[in-house]
Structure 1
Amino acid sequence: MPVTIDPKRPLTLRDVSEASGVSEMTVSRVLRNRGDVSAATRKKVLEAAKSLGYVPNKIAGALASQRVNLVAVIIPSLSNMVFPEVMGAISAELEDTELQPVVGVTDYLPEKEERVLFEMLSWRPSGIIIAGLEHTDASRAMLQASGIPVVEIMDVDGTPVDSAVGISHRRAGRQMAKAILKQGFEMIGFMGTKMPLDHRARKRFEGFTEALARDGVEVLDQEFYEGGSALAKGREMTAAMMERTPDLDFLYYSNDLIGAGGLLWAMEEGLDVPGRLGLAGFNDVELLQGLPRKLATMDSCRREIGAKAAKIILSRLDEGGESEAGQVVELSPTISMGDTLKRY
């Protein structure tokens, strides 16, 4: 008979015991990797714990509240300039509170996200801010069973576990496609990160191609990369794509860094930008404002996202707070035409 669990309370050893059909003492031994437990029993307990989303409490009995003043922030990368800005906004919002953000990095790997989430939750943080809406079943179960405020950030194209703050990447892709078509570009190439790893880039590409298709235009060439210097990759991919498909008149990049590499290549080649070749990126990275020409881009609202996510956590933890579970806050990015998009 399936075990019915109240989703509003944290899971306990007893829940895992009932789900696996073994004693709480045996469950404790398995989860602490102690004692003489058969392989079959160990497997049964671990499978039950994973399916429930149970995470052992490393501070059980140490604090009456069973919570520590930490907010777990789980992001895919620290080398991508976007996420340090998000972290900065979260940290600034929590500055004058008792809460302290702690960071876990997943490298865009779902299995690593599971491990990071497991470790973070085992310390019983007061809240979780996690990038993206796509998670493994095990990660989603842990988030749902955590019993604390969860805010998924950067994206609103999907169903959140609890609350979400971000932009619609599909809408962002559509907006950029319309801006490109309005300027008269029709021979379009796309360059970006590996789509299975970067869900938000995939959604932008989907929105981008959908909007082009409505006007009878399609992406004529595309290339994807992973690892290495994004700036150098942008130069390499742009050179290869223009040699392969020389009739292209516009290149859309999934982020500003590879777009900046493409712009530097075009300038070195003496191409008329945007007369002969238009370019656009995504994120509006401040670091690139020092380029000889300003790359067209779109603001990803990252600082606003970080600040709003932290405010939701604070409000949810405040007994008189206004924020409720299930909030979805969609922010509206804007296009910056720069020097590489506007022809007319």
Structure 2
Amino acid sequence: MSQETTPPPRRPLTLRDVSEASGVSEMTVSRVLRNRGEVSEATRSRVLETAKDLGYVPNKIAGALASQRVNLVAVIIPSLSNMVFPEVMMGISDVLDDSPLQPVVGVTNYKPEREEKVLYEMLSWRPSGVIIAGLEHSDASKAMLRAAGIPVVEIMDTDGEAIDSVVGISHRRAGAEMARAIVSARYKRIGFLGTKMPLDHRARKRFEGFTQGLAKAGLEIADQEFYSGGSALAKGREMTEAMLKRTPDLDFLYYSNDMIGAGGLLYCLDNGIDVPGQIGLAGFNGVELLDGLPRQLATMDACRTEIGRAAADIIAKRVSEGAENAAGEKIVLTPQISFGDTLKRLKK
């Protein structure tokens, strides 16, 4: 685990900041943001555009001073159906249970515009901190996070520039590590099966690291299959069947997550395919739910609970010490490969 520091966030924005930037009075800004009173359409548009560019979020706590905070931590994640994030939430709750802080969850469904909306609503209640998945956000979301004046921890991924603090793993390194393990086991005809990745940035980075790792060994992906939608056993079976019928000489399948990998494993076992002799398999995430499968799928633990605990610990310490604007931290965790029963380990 490595740890670095990043510059502290700016102070919270106020109505005066929006007023000065838009060239209208604070009263007019207030009217526009509360949608009260008569304001020309041109002025309204200018104020709203300025507020968005600055990242200003109005305070919904009636009668409160702009600096007042509530004992809530906004936790913004892309999915609750994905088994990864409940474990992250367990880690967050474990830490915050021993503090006055209470996590409140918002779900974005991997949509940047939804993330903007969720973030805007949560920040309007003046939480004490934000924990948010990923490093990729829209310009509007980044502006709000930078302007909030509270601790912000981006989680799950460390391959990029953080707004404040960040806790996670390097997904590019994780993909490269799995490629090295597969190459070391002397597999050569490798297929990749995963989600469509324009918005699943962490899966995309693992894929990039994986292909780069193969390239160092003079190999490239022989076939690939992508799908949209949640992780599912049925989808894994369908994709595996389609790929093996299309490219029957493959000797390894790497899945972007354990759930579709488990579906692929069940397909192979049902069809008498020797795993890992004829074909090897590996997924990602280390989902404990799959421990009851007939064979243990090779995978890599994403350090989910540890990420949640470390992120919550950063928020709790900075709030309790009154150090909301302290320099951010970078905590990089190191996942380990579990070879299971589907990835050969050759004796040296």
Q: Calculate the TM-score normalised by the size of structure 2.
A: 0.94
C-alpha contact 1:128 1:148 (8 A) present in aligned 2? yes
Let me know the Cα RMSD of the aligned residues: 1.7
Letter in 1 for 2:288: E
- Distance in 2 (CA, whole Å) between partners of 1:323 and 1:343 is 48
- Distance in 1 (CA, whole Å) between partners of 2:202 and 2:66 is 40
Residue aligning to 2:16:
14
Residue aligning to 2:335:
333
The alpha-carbon deviation at position 320 of structure 1 amounts to: 7.3
- Distance in 2 (CA, whole Å) between partners of 1:118 and 1:313 is 19
Residue aligning to 2:265:
263
Letter in 1 for 2:13: L
The alpha-carbon deviation at position 9 of structure 1 amounts to: 1.9
- Distance in 1 (CA, whole Å) between partners of 2:325 and 2:156 is 19
Residues paired across the two proteins, number: 339
Letter in 2 for 1:178: R
Instruction: Name the CA shift for 1:272/1:101 in 2 (closer, same or farther; >3 Å).
Output: same
- Distance in 2 (CA, whole Å) between partners of 1:64 and 1:183 is 59
1:260-290 deviation line (CA, Å, top 9, x unaligned):
0000000001000000010000000000000
Residue aligning to 2:3:
none
Asked whether 1:194 is paired with 2:196, we answer yes
Q: Which moved more, 1:108-117 or 1:22-31?
A: 22-31
Letter in 1 for 2:110: Y
C-alpha contact 2:153 2:311 (8 A) present in aligned 1? yes
Asked whether 1:298 is paired with 2:300, we answer yes
Q: Secondary structure at the match of 1:205?
A: helix
Instruction: Name the CA shift for 1:160/1:213 in 2 (closer, same or farther; >3 Å).
Output: same
Residue aligning to 1:130:
132
Mapping 1:180-219, distance limit 5 Å: 180-219=182-221
Letter in 1 for 2:267: W
Residue aligning to 2:71:
69
The alpha-carbon deviation at position 206 of structure 1 amounts to: 0.2
Q: Secondary structure at the match of 2:328?
A: coil
C-alpha contact 2:151 2:325 (8 A) present in aligned 1? no
Instruction: Name the CA shift for 1:150/1:228 in 2 (closer, same or farther; >3 Å).
Output: closer
Q: Which has the higher contact order (CA 8 A, sep 6+)?
A: 2
- Distance in 1 (CA, whole Å) between partners of 2:39 and 2:226 is 48
Q: Which moved more, 1:31-40 or 1:285-294?
A: 31-40
Q: For 1:249, which of 226, 240, 251 is the aligned residue? A: 251
- Distance in 1 (CA, whole Å) between partners of 2:307 and 2:345 is 32
The alpha-carbon deviation at position 194 of structure 1 amounts to: 1.4
- Distance in 2 (CA, whole Å) between partners of 1:111 and 1:120 is 14
The alpha-carbon deviation at position 326 of structure 1 amounts to: 2.3
Asked whether 1:79 is paired with 2:84, we answer no
C-alpha contact 1:312 1:323 (8 A) present in aligned 2? no
Asked whether 1:144 is paired with 2:151, we answer no
Q: Secondary structure at the match of 1:241?
A: helix
Q: For 1:311, which of 303, 308, 313 is the aligned residue? A: 313
1:157-211 deviation line (CA, Å, top 9, x unaligned):
0000000000000000000000000001010000111111100000000000001
- Distance in 1 (CA, whole Å) between partners of 2:9 and 2:191 is 47
Residue aligning to 1:232:
234
Residue aligning to 1:3:
none
Q: Secondary structure at the match of 1:252?
A: strand
Residue aligning to 2:29:
27
The alpha-carbon deviation at position 132 of structure 1 amounts to: 0.3
1:106-127 deviation line (CA, Å, top 9, x unaligned):
0000110000000000000000
C-alpha contact 1:174 1:211 (8 A) present in aligned 2? yes
The alpha-carbon deviation at position 28 of structure 1 amounts to: 0.9
Instruction: Name the CA shift for 1:134/1:215 in 2 (closer, same or farther; >3 Å).
Output: same
Q: For 1:121, which of 105, 120, 123 is the aligned residue? A: 123
The alpha-carbon deviation at position 31 of structure 1 amounts to: 0.7
Residue aligning to 1:157:
159
C-alpha contact 1:275 1:343 (8 A) present in aligned 2? no
The alpha-carbon deviation at position 324 of structure 1 amounts to: 4.5
Q: Secondary structure at the match of 1:58?
A: coil
Asked whether 1:102 is paired with 2:91, we answer no
C-alpha contact 1:51 1:141 (8 A) present in aligned 2? yes
The alpha-carbon deviation at position 322 of structure 1 amounts to: 12
Q: Calculate the TM-score normalised by the size of structure 1.
A: 0.95
- Distance in 1 (CA, whole Å) between partners of 2:102 and 2:221 is 45
- Distance in 2 (CA, whole Å) between partners of 1:186 and 1:69 is 54
1:32-68 deviation line (CA, Å, top 9, x unaligned):
1122222211110111001100000001523696100
